[in-house]
Amino acid sequence: MNKPPAVRLFGEVGARPGGKHTLECDPSDVGNVCSKIRDAGFDFLSFVTAVERGDSFEVVYHMRNTGEWERLFLKTEVPRDEASLPTVSDVWRAANWHEREVYDLFGVEFDGHPKLERIILHENWVGHPLRKDYEEREQDITLDMIDLVDDEGGEDHDVMYVNVGPQHPAAHGVARIQAAFDGEMVEKVNFDIGFMHRGVEKLCETFEYRQIVPYYDRMDWTGPSNVEGAYVRAVEELLEVEAPPRAQYLRVIASELGRITGHLIGVGQMAMDLTGMTGVIFMYCWREREKALDLLDMMTGGRLTHNYMTIGGTRYDLSEGLEEKALKFTKEMREAIVEYHSLTTENEVFRARTVGTGVMDGDLMLDWGVTGPSLRGSGVDYDLRRDDPYFLYEDFDFDVITYPDGGNYDRFEVRMDEMEESCRIIEQALDEMPGGDHQAKVPKRLRADGEHYAAVEAPKGEFGTYIVADGTNKPQRLKIRTPSFSNIACVEDLVRGEKIPDLVVGFASLDPVFGEVDR
C-alpha cells in the first residue's frame, strides 16, 4: 500500500486513468466513485466546476489528499439539455456550496443535494450566465426583506429570526447571514452571498491572457499581489513559460507584503469586532498597513490594484531605495507585532472571549474545504508555499505556523505569527536577490491549449485558477477557486450553539473578503 492513493484507485473503480491523475467516469457513477476516492485518502475537495464542451458540460472535481498532497481531477460529461448528476455533498461537505454555484451559473442539477438553490445570483434570476449562449436580459429582482425564513415558528417556539446584513457592521463587506437566535444562543445560520458578484469568470472569457491580471487584483483587495500570482502561475505553467529568478524573487516580496497587508486587516478587524470602533488596535494595524502599502506603491505603482505580475515576469524591476525601506519596515513590523500582542493576546478579556470559542477540528475544516490560516489554526500543517512550491519559495527558510486547538484564538495567533514569517521571507529575498532580467521573453500573442489548475497560498488560503484553453488567445473557461468562498461555508457548523457575539467573532476569525467570495 505504499503506492500513492491515486494509483491505488485506478482499476478499482472501473474508471480509466488519464494524464496528471485524471479520472473520468459516467455521470451516474459520480457518487460511487467519489466515495471511493475519499476512502482512498482524498479528504479535501478544492473545487467543483463545469466546462462547456459543445453539447455537453464537463463537470470537474478537484481533490487533494492530506497525506501526500497529491492532486486528482475527476471529470464527467453530462448532456446539455439534461444536465443532472448525483451530488457528492454527502461525501465532502465542501461540495455543498460548489455544487450550488455550478447549478447557479451553468444549470447543472445535482440530485439529492440538500439545498439546491441559487447561491450567487438572486433566486428570481432567469438563465445561467456562464453558459456560452447566455444572453443578457432584464431581470425581475425584488428584494424581499421580510420573508427571510418560511417558518417564523409557532407561538411556543422562542426563536428570533434576525437578518445579520447585508448592511451590518460585522458583515465585512456585503454578506447576509440569516440567523435564528434562541435568546443569546445561535441556533442556526444560513448564508446569503452574491451581493458583490461581478461575473469575473465570465468577463475573463472575453479578454486576452495578458488583460486578465487586473481583474484578479479586484477580488482580494486586502492582498492583491498574492492573487495575481494565482493567475500568472497557472498561465505560465500552461504556456510553459518560466519567469527569471529575479522576477520570482520580486514576486515573493510583493506576495509577502501582500500577506502582511491582508493579515493586518484580518487581525485588526477581528480585534475590532471584539472591541468596537473605539478600540485602538484596528488603527494600529492600519498604521503598519500604510507603511506596507507605501512599499507596494514603490514597487508596483499602485496601492490597491497593483497589476504588477505579468506573464513571464514582473512589470517593474526592483525600485531604487526599496531595500532600505523594506528592511526598516520589517524591523518596525516586528516591534508592532509585539504591541499588537500586548493589546490582544495578552489581554485577559481578549483571551476570555477567544480561547475555546468557535472551535472546529482539522478534519471537519478540511471536509468543508477550509484552507489557509483558518485551517492551520486547527492544526493541519498545510501551506502551498511549502507543499506545492511556486515562485522559488523552496529557496526560502520559513516555518509553517500551526496552532492546535482550532478556536478563534488559534486562528488569530496563526495570522500574527505568519506576519513575522513574512518579514523573514522578505528579508531573505532582499538579501539574496539574484541579478538578471525581471521579464522573460514571451511571444506577443499568447495562444494556449489544454487545461491546467494552479494555486497559490493567498492570505486567506488556497487561491487557484483552473484554465481551460482552446487554442485561441482567450481562455475558453476560467474557474477561480477562491479561499474565502470555501472558508465561510463552514460558518454554519462553526457558530452553532455559540452566543451572538461569537457568531460575529467566529465569522471574523475566518477573515473573509467578499470580493473573492462573490467574484
Partner 1 sequence: MNATNMTDALLNALGIYGLEGLPLLVAQVAVGAILAAVIILVIALVTYYKRKFMGDAAVRIGPNRTGPFGILIWVADAIKLIQKEDIVHRDADPWVFNAGPIVMVTATVMTFAVVPFGYGLVFSNMDVGLVYLFAISELSLLGVIMAGYGSNNKWATISTLRAVLQTISYEITLIIAALGVVMVAGTFNLHEIVLAQEGTFFGILPRWFVFTQPVAFVLFTVAMFGEIMRNPFDLPEAESELVAGYYTEYSGFKFALIFFAEFGHMVLATFVLTTIFLGGWLGPSFLPGVLWFTVKAYFVLLLIFVMRMTHPRVRPDQMLQLGWKGLLELSFVNLVLTGVVLAVVA
Q: Which residues bind partner 1 (CB under 8 A)?
A: 160, 162-163, 168-170, 181, 184, 271-280, 283-284, 286-287, 343, 347, 349-350, 352-353, 499-504
358: its cell numbers:
468557535
Candidates 108, 105, 135; CA nearest to 120 is 105
**Smallest distance from the beta carbon of 147 to partner 1, in angstroms?**
15
Positive/negative CA dihedral, 199, 205, 209, 210: negative
**Smallest distance from the beta carbon of 491 to partner 1, in angstroms?**
15
Residue that the C-alpha cell 447549478 belongs to:
103
**Smallest distance from the beta carbon of 368 to partner 1, in angstroms?**
24
**Smallest distance from the beta carbon of 183 to partner 1, in angstroms?**
8
| Burial group, residue 183, by CB count within 10 angstroms (0-12, 13-18, 19+) | exposed
Our CB check for partner 1 shows the closer of 290 and 381 to be 290
Contact of 517 with 388, CB cutoff 8 Å: no
Our CB check for partner 1 shows the closer of 100 and 411 to be 411
Our CB check for partner 1 shows the closer of 413 and 427 to be 413
Our CB check for partner 1 shows the closer of 144 and 242 to be 144
**Smallest distance from the beta carbon of 276 to partner 1, in angstroms?**
5
Our CB check for partner 1 shows the closer of 359 and 392 to be 359
Question: How many whole angstroms separate alpha carbon 312 and alpha carbon 467?
Answer: 17
| Burial group, residue 392, by CB count within 10 angstroms (0-12, 13-18, 19+) | middle
Contact of 270 with 345, CB cutoff 8 Å: no
Asked whether the bond before 166 is cis by omega within 30 degrees of 0, the reply is yes
**Smallest distance from the beta carbon of 187 to partner 1, in angstroms?**
14
Our CB check for partner 1 shows the closer of 7 and 283 to be 283
Residues belonging to the chain: 519
Question: How many whole angstroms separate alpha carbon 42 and alpha carbon 442?
Answer: 37
**Smallest distance from the beta carbon of 272 to partner 1, in angstroms?**
7
- 22: which strand partners? 73
Q: What is the dihedral of CA 62, 65, 71, 74, to 10 degrees?
A: -40
Our CB check for partner 1 shows the closer of 364 and 500 to be 500
Our CB check for partner 1 shows the closer of 469 and 503 to be 503
Question: How many whole angstroms separate alpha carbon 30 and alpha carbon 51?
Answer: 16
Our CB check for partner 1 shows the closer of 177 and 458 to be 177
**Smallest distance from the beta carbon of 141 to partner 1, in angstroms?**
23
In the chain, what are the helix, strand and coil shares in percent, each to the nearest 5?
Answer: 40, 20, 40
- 79: which strand partners? 56
Residue that the C-alpha cell 539574496 belongs to:
432
Q: What is the dihedral of CA 377, 227, 467, 40, to 10 degrees?
A: -10
202: its cell numbers:
465570465
**Smallest distance from the beta carbon of 278 to partner 1, in angstroms?**
5
Our CB check for partner 1 shows the closer of 141 and 280 to be 280
Contact of 228 with 308, CB cutoff 8 Å: yes
**Smallest distance from the beta carbon of 196 to partner 1, in angstroms?**
20
